[in-house]
Amino acid sequence: VVITPDIAKAAKGYGDIFGIPAPAVQNAEYELPNGKKEKAKVAYVPMPNFYIAVVQPTGKGPMRDHLKKFGLGIWALGVGKDSDIDAVRAELEARGGKWTGGRKGGDFAWVDLRHTPLGATIVVGPTARPAMPAAPTTHASLFGGLNISHIGFANTDAAASAKMIVDIFGMKPVEPRVFPPKGPFQYPPNMWT
């Protein structure tokens, strides 16, 4: 989930990069644990292997708070789960997460783990994709038709982050790599010139 202050501009930008028409913007409401709802505008960007939800918060709640504190950027990672949402949420809370979205017995939960080595909110929700156009099948634009190969986290303790990702997602542990690799590497370009 990407949070933006201007969904029309962001939707057009994602459409251009991924070779699709600008995704349709829809109004949405998300239940919060306190019984209130956070209003937002959302657009879905279809990818071959997953989708990106681009969200502009229009009401008060965790997404609005994130946008105010951090600005435009990635807010959450989504994990598909169709049952036992409360059990998954409780396990994430036991690992240091804060329950910020969804209701008890509901079909989704937001668990904020930004203050932990994971550094992101986890959205646990239905495995079915929301209604959206099909993803591009050919590489006709900069990234259209390509799979997303990885997501990177910038942090101050890569070993702790890797351990938490392994623990939560049940992945095989890997040693953090030294970055940048040997030789000159500039990210972003010209940042040290």
pLDDT tens for 75-92 read: 999 999 999 999 999 999
pLDDT band at 186 (very low <50, low <70, confident <90, very high): low
Tell me, what's the pLDDT at 181?
66
Q: Is the pLDDT of residue 187 over 70?
A: no
Between CA 159 and CA 151 the distance in angstroms is: 16
Entry field: residues in the chain = 193
**Position 145 confidence tier, pLDDT thresholds 50, 70, 90:** confident
Dihedral sign, CA of 162, 164, 165, 169? Answer: positive
Chain segment 94-133, per-residue pLDDT in tens? 999 999 999 999 999 999 999 999 889 999 999 999 988 8
Q: Give residue 126's pLDDT.
A: 95
- Output DSSP code: residue 114: T
The Cα–Cα gap between 183 and 116 comes to 32
Amino acid at 164: M
Reported as a pLDDT band with limits 50, 70 and 90, residue 9 is very high
Write the DSSP assignment of 150-176 as a string of letters.
------S-HHHHHHHHHHHHTPPP-PP
Q: What is the pLDDT of residue 180?
A: 63
